[in-house]
Structure 1
Amino acid sequence: MAMKDAYSTQEAAALLGITRQSVERRAIREGWQSRPRSGRGGGKEWLLASMPEATRIQIAKAVAESSVPAPITPSDIAIPDWANAIGLARFRLVMEWRERCAKSKQTKSMASAMFELAYRSGQLLPNIHKQLGDVSIKTLYRWDAMLRDHNDDYQALCDRRGAWTSGGPKGLGQVGREAESTFLKAYLNDRKPSMRLAWLATCSVLEKHGLEIPSYSSVVRMFKRFDAENHDVVVLMREGAKALEDKVGKFMNRDDGLLKVGDVLVADGHKLNFLIINPETGKPTRYTLVGWQDWASRMFLGFELMPSENTQAIASSLYRSIIQLGKKPGCVLLDNGKAFKNKFFEQQTDLEELDGLYLRLGINVMHSQPYAGRTKIIERWWGDFDRQAECAIDSYIGHSIADKPAHLMRNEDWQQSRQTGWVPTLEDAKRLITDYAKWKAIQPHPKRPGTTPWEVFAAGRGEGFSEDERADLARGFLYRKKIRPARCRFAMMGLTFESDELYGINKELTAHYSFSDLSEVYVYDDGRLVTVARPVESVHPMAELYGTALDVATVKKMQKAATRLRAGTRKLAEEIGGEAGNVMMSLQHMQGVAERRKPLLLRPRQPEALPLPELSEEEAAQLAAIAERHQQAEAAQPAYTLPEFFASELDKYAYLFEISVINGTPLKQEDMEFMTRYETSEEYRTTTGRRFEQLRGLYAPKERTA
């Protein structure tokens, strides 16, 4: 405690280590001066300045060695919240007691007894009673004296238990350095042992060394104190570096308000938490949803459903997203998963070959860090989709074992009896995802108050693509499947597609399609767009009798289309001629005897060449110069031209093979070097080389004959 200028008889006796009577005799003997004492009880205080020097030194030494803590002031030590709350509650109780005693007409002792009774019953200051419990009259007198000694500063009544009053660590749980170190070594383990198991291991080690064993509650309090100041160490040692980065590490606030619609498209794959009927096997399957989201507007633009994540699903969903966006995006942010790291999306080869799709479209590619979901804003969309849509489907299975519905557990007969057993088809799942995306688009934007994702997206949407541009995108991004049309139709994915341009074609073509949108299929023939086929439209079987005006108009339209196609066939047949009968009659065994004896003239006799007029030397020189210029022009003109883009090196090689080997056209030097280089590649030797060698063998005799 701090030195005071005057002490009461009782205080002086405690400091000097003598009785009160000895203090009074000593005061008379040494001539101490006094002054009236304020406060309850009255009396007098002995002035320190009037005491002899030896007595003053003895009192000062006693004060310095006293175990009673000095009064706490806000500038000394920060009071813990729990101790501060107790001090305020005690102050409120003492102030209420003072007021009741001052207003009471009874004696102070009687008023105090009535106050104590009312307080203990819980009727007076019930919240204080819950916090402090029963308080005796003696305790109230003691608290009142402490407040008067410190000018009614409530901090004098704060709870002083623990080491915080001396500047030590706040809180309890002082178990000793050896016990603390042993417990932390056992508990801070990546196998995540329980706190009780770590305590048992600590007890075993301490017992072996003959050290004091702390209680479990003391160890728990000690760890809470350690975790409060070293949470980063606890997370790193028990959960790893990723958890440290996600839970403790710093992070950056990204202002996506600076982005425009179409600047960045974010892609990610999500394993659906409900089952879908696989159209190929007919069995319930957990599909993977690959989706694209515009960062600025938060619009979910396109998706693809596949049994497993693959690059073609990503490409197909990107195609739908670009069509929805109406313009080419400036950048795509891809996950670092296996499906997104394929070179199909990154330019790894010669830039001049333009093999990368993104490079050709002028789109920048960026990859997020592995296992860093905070870098992909689309992760929020997946979570909302699971909580707001997936969980309502009957085939929902949960995203983990802990989240599995009750009816999938063993012996849950009652829960299983309440299930319908309905599993959505692929079309049902597409419709569900599309409807949810539309609903999500009109919800409030998370970063731009007062707007919705659709409003932001519509304001920055592109103008769209022409038919040729869409076909070019489809060729690069959509799935591919070999088809053979018949009667203007072909079947694929359980649907039948039709187009008038397929009329009369009897060979294999390539269909480019998207799983998520089968409303149109692009059909190519060796890289050349043939048509855009659409699902077959059924008509009313008796449209004229029972159908509507639209049904009748549809039937007539289809009849006119069929008539037009037949007319085109008839016209082409007439151009060929139809004189097969006359040609056949020219055979020798089909003629009469007289005609057979006449030799057949297989070739008409060539007329004799007309004599050329004589030319002067000047005219002959002019004709020779003209002929030479024509020859130079023909030599300068290339014999062939290449398309601007090839989907792969194989397509380019096949095109040059047809020009050089089949048609016999000489190649340019750079194209000959490309064919030579490709024939040494692994792809040519293992897959396509045998077929081209067979073709070369078929056409080689023709070259020699020629």
Structure 2
Amino acid sequence: MIQSGTKTWFTAAELADLALPGLPRIKRKVNERAAEERWALAVDSRGAPLARPRAGRGGGLEYSIRVLPAISRAELVRRGISIDGQVHSSPDGVGADAAGIAASQLWSWYEAQNAKTRAEAERRLDAVQRIERYEAAGLTRSMAVSAVAQEGVAGQSTLWAWLKLVEGIAAHDRLPCLAPRRRGGGCAAPIDAAVWQYFKSDFLRPEQPTLSSCYARAKEIADAQALSIPCEKTFARRLEREVDPRVIIARREGAEALRRSMPAQKRSVAGLHAMEIVNIDGHKFDVFVALDDGRIIRPMMVAIQDVYSRKILAWRIGETESAVQTRLAFADLFRDFGIPKHCLLDNGRAFASKWITGGAVTRFRFKIKEDEPTGLLTSLGIQIHWATPYRGQSKPIERGFRDLCDSVAKHPAFAGAYTGNKPDAKPENYASKAVPFAEFVAIATRGIAMHNAKTGRRTETANGQSFDQVFAASYAQAPIGKATPEVMRLALLAAEQVNVDRKTGELRFMGNRYWSPSMSNLHGRKVTVRFDPDDLHQALHVYDTAGTYLTSAELLEDAGFLDVASAKKRARQESDWRKAVRTASEMEDLLTAEQLAAMIPDYEDELELPEPQVIRAVHHRGTAAALKPARRTAPDTNFMERFAAAETRLRVVD
């Protein structure tokens, strides 16, 4: 409860509760009024501050009655709350502290404003300083204001308003006080919750409808329900104010756009050396090329790049991106530069093929089997790293492909064959010619050489040098694994697993049949065959599943129905086959059937019968069988003798 006649300092909450004329009746509005009129920086004629920290829990500021409008002060006197408008002195330093706190907050606000607001504050301060200079020269304030207004700075009423803003303000705190405080026109217009939900759901769709079309549909919904909605700009401001920009990006543009809204990760190669890590990828050129058979294609290149120097080391150009191209590109790399330690590649079919990465348990494509053949990279101990699918930033070679799009695809020799890099970017001479394949390969090869030799590169390791120079300097000092002839044969041959025929021992592969006499002990077994996909007429090399070399299998060619030469060749093969089997049988040193029969031991004519220990009496049931005369036969004297001998040893057991 405020005591009458003694109160001269008031908080914003107290002023709101008093409901004084000329002041708002809400605490928040009183604080806004205090900030707008700079109550915290106001001083009296003696320089004493008219604001001070509030004593008690919660802090805040108290304002002197002198900062209030005249009508508010008169109401306080009328109510008897304050006898007069005199300022009661505060303890030393307290008012200064309050002014310092308020000035610090004001400057913090000023620093957060945009350049336009700060420029306007500086212009106003310059006008105030001009007025003060005229006053120092002997003019009255009115004459000084009129003189500055005639200079075209602002109107006289505007200049008087600026002077009022800095009245009682220290010279070094005038700039934030003069900064314009533009505010909206009050509370935001209300939007029905259901209409707002519809508008948000419509706007945050992957189809990315415009805000105007979403507002039009929301207005139709509101009109159907007899609801009034504010203008489109109100929807736009609320959307900007309430919906997280990241949500807008994710819902309208997708997860990849949201990822790109974050700063990219920068990976350093300073600790690497040449041929330590390579990365491989495919690139389809935007050029029409004519093959020898007349077909028109866009050629595909598989290229391998050194990560440290960014030099393109090996490449193959063909019709499609395939495991064959990849294998041949790696063979070129091994032959010319050696074997790298690591390889970065994506999960494309050409790279995740069993021929290339078979045995790698982390690839993202094809079913992984325990008995699958070991791929080229896996067998050479090259550590495989899989790049994130559909993310060009994961592979440095994508930056090199961008250069080739300009230097190769747009080469003058390809004028008329260039397709454009997207469907809506076709040149005027689109599809007017196609380049012969051999000519394209020759120009692309020169273009890659120029790409590697270009100086002025700004990569981490180049520093103005070319990719060739960076690679050569590091390659001369780096430990590089060299490719042996065995490794080259391994690189030039692809691998696949097949089953040997259980009856004939032949291999059926790629529509052909392969066989050799040395495959006689492989019937029904699963084996790994290595072959050259470019020439399936050559012999297959057969390995067991563990990688041990077994034999080679020649191609079995189909013969003509009346081909006598083929029939004679077949007869010779069968003869040789029988002769080889006969020779192998003789080497086994087998026994004849007569020798086997002679080695069986003889048995005695009389077998020693076991002696029974217990005798069971057997009685006939009925008399018919007993009375029926038995057929007379010659007595078995031997049997009777044996029976008599056994009878003497019988004993009866109860």
1:304 and 2:323 are equivalent in the alignment: no
Is the CA contact 1:71–1:156 (under 8 Å) kept in the aligned structure 2? no
Q: Secondary structure at the match of 1:257?
A: coil
Whole-angstrom distance in 1 between the partners of 2:71 and 2:376? 96
| Structure-2 residue corresponding to 1:571 | none
Query: Residues 107-506 of structure 1 correspond to what in structure 2 (within 5 A)?
Result: 107-119=140-152, 135-152=154-171, 153=173, 154-162=175-183, 176=191, 178=193, 180-226=196-242, 230-248=244-262, 251-281=264-294, 283-324=295-336, 326-348=337-359, 355-392=374-411, 393-394=414-415, 395-408=417-430, 421=432, 423-441=434-452, 442-443=454-455, 444-448=457-461, 449-461=463-475, 472=486, 475-478=489-492
CA offsets 1:19-57 (integer angstroms, 9 cap, x no match): xxxx8xx7999974xxxxxxxxxxxxx31449xxxxxxx
In structure 2, C-alpha distance between the alignment counterparts of 1:176 and 1:93, rounded to whole Å: 44
In the TM superposition, residue 403 of structure 1 has moved relative to its aligned partner by 2.7
C-alpha distance in 2 between matches for 1:387 and 1:96: 60
| Cα separation, partners in 2 of 1:689 and 1:196, compared to 1, 3 Å | farther
Which residue of structure 1 lines up, in the alignment, with residue 86 of structure 2? Answer: 47
**What percentage of residue pairs aligned between the two structures are identical?**
20
CA contact (8 A) 1:331 1:365 kept: yes
- Amino acid of the residue matched to residue 273 of structure 1? D
Report what 2:121 is aligned to.
88
Q: In structure 2, how many angstroms separate the alpha carbons of the residues matched to 1:477 and 1:461?
A: 22
TM-score (norm 2): 0.58
- Tell me, yes or no, if the aligned pair for 2:203 and 2:210 is still in contact at 8 Å: yes
Distance in 1 of aligned mates of 2:472 and 2:169: 70
In structure 1, C-alpha distance between the alignment counterparts of 2:516 and 2:315, rounded to whole Å: 44
What is the alpha-carbon distance in structure 2 between the residues aligned to residue 457 and residue 87 of structure 1? 57
CA RMSD in angstroms, aligned pairs only: 4.8
What amino acid maps onto 1:676 in structure 2?
G
| Structure 1 residue identity aligned to 2:381 | G
Contact 1:277/1:285, CA 8 A, preserved across alignment? yes
Q: Which amino acid aligns with 2:315?
A: F
Could you tell me whether the CA contact under 8 Å between 1:397 and 1:404 is conserved in 2?
A: yes
| Alpha carbons of structure 1 residues 204 and 446: separation in structure 2 relative to 1, 3 Å | same
Offset of 1:690 from its aligned partner? Answer: 11
1:265 partner amino acid: V
Deviation by residue 1:546-582 (Cα, 9 ceiling, x = unmatched): xxxxxxxxxxxxxxxxxxxxxxxxxxxxxxxxxxxxx
- Say whether the 8 Å CA contact 1:180–1:222 is kept in structure 2: no
The alpha carbon displacement at 1:265 in A equals: 1.2
Which amino acid is the alignment partner of residue 358 of structure 2?
Answer: Q
Conserved? CA contact 1:112–1:137, under 8 Å: yes
| SS of aligned partner of 1:332 | strand
Q: Distance in 2 between matches of 1:664 and 1:704?
A: 11
Residue type of the alignment partner of 1:292: I
Change (3 A) 1:697 1:372: farther
Q: How far did 1:192 drift?
A: 1.5
Equivalent residues of 1:267, 1:332 under 8 A apart = yes
- Match of 2:56? none
CA distance in 2, matches of 1:307, 1:291: 14
Q: 1:214 to 1:431 in 2, by over 3 A?
A: farther
Query: What is the TM-score with the length of structure 1 in the denominator?
Result: 0.54
Cα distance in structure 2, aligned partners of 1:305 and 1:141: 79
| Aligned-residue offset at 1:381 | 1.0
2-structure distance, mates of 1:451, 1:224: 48
Q: Cα distance, 1:341 vs. partner?
A: 1.9
The Cα of 1:70 is off from its aligned counterpart by: 12
Q: 1:221 to 1:405 in 2, by over 3 A?
A: farther
Structure-1 separation of matches of 2:424 and 2:407: 19
Aligned equivalent of 2:66: 7
Please report how far the alpha carbon of residue 305 of structure 1 lies from its aligned counterpart in structure 2 after TM superposition.
Answer: 1.4
Instruction: Return the alpha-carbon distance in structure 1 between the equivalents of residues 399 and 269 of structure 2.
Output: 15
CA-CA distance at 1:163 after TM superposition: 7.2
CA shift, 1:236, in A, is 1.3
Q: What is the match of residue 505 of structure 1?
A: none
Cα distance per residue 1:190-215 (max 9 Å; x no partner): 12112221121222233334443232
CA change 1:704–1:268 in 2 (3 A) is closer
State the distance in 1 between where 2:157 and 2:338 align.
84
By percentage of residues, which structure has more helix? Answer: 1
Question: Do the aligned residues in 2 keep the contact of 1:203 with 1:213 (CA within 8 Å)?
Answer: yes
| Deviation of the 1:81 alpha carbon | 2.2
Kept in 2: contact 1:347–1:356 (CA 8 A): yes
Contact 2:495 2:528 in 1 (8 A): no
Report the equivalent of 1:528: none
Shift of 1:304: 1.5
Code of the aligned partner of 1:186: D
1:263 Cα deviation from its structure 2 partner: 1.4
- Please state how far the C-alpha of 1:186 moved relative to its aligned partner: 1.2
Larger gyration radius, structure 1 or structure 2: 2
SS at match of 1:279: coil
Paired residue secondary structure (1:189)? coil
- For 1:141 and 1:280, how far apart are their aligned partners in 2? 90
SS state at 1:344 partner: helix
Letter of the 2:425 partner, please give it: D
CA distance in 2, matches of 1:387, 1:175: 55
SS in 1 for 2:305: strand
Unaligned runs of 5+ in 2: 1-33, 40-61, 90-101, 360-367, 508-513, 532-539, 541-552, 560-568, 583-654
Single out whichever of 306-315 and 434-443 deviates more from structure 2.
Answer: 434-443
Superposition deviation, residue 397 in structure 1? 1.6
1:383 CA drift (Å): 1.6
The SS at the match of 1:339 is coil
For 1:97 and 1:453, the matched residues in 2 are separated by: 63
Q: Provide closer, same or farther for how the CA distance between residues 223 and 388 of structure 1 changes in structure 2, counting only shifts above 3 A.
A: farther
Q: Is the 8 A contact 1:175 1:219 kept in 2?
A: no
User: Is this contact kept in 1: 2:289–2:298, CA < 8 A?
Assistant: yes
Supply the AA of the counterpart residue of 2:162.
W
Deviation at 1:385, TM superposition (A): 2.0
Amino acid at match of 1:47: Q
State how far apart, in whole Å, the 2-side matches of 1:403 and 1:119 are: 54
Contact 2:499–2:525 (CA under 8 A) maintained in structure 1: no
Q: What amino acid is the match of 1:337?
A: G
Rounded Cα–Cα distance in structure 1 between residues aligned with 2:235 and 2:516: 89
Letter matched to residue 303 of structure 2: G
Change in 2 beyond 3 A, CA 1:428/1:149: farther
Match in the other structure for 2:562: none
The reply on whether 1:98 has 2:131 as its aligned counterpart is yes
1:438, CA displacement in angstroms? Answer: 2.6
The alpha-carbon distance between structure 1 residues 357 and 301, as it changes in their structure 2 partners (threshold 3 A), is same
The 1:431–1:219 alpha-carbon spacing in structure 2 relative to 1, beyond 3 Å, is farther
Hey, what's the Cα distance between the residues in 2 that align with 1:323 and 1:691?
A: 33
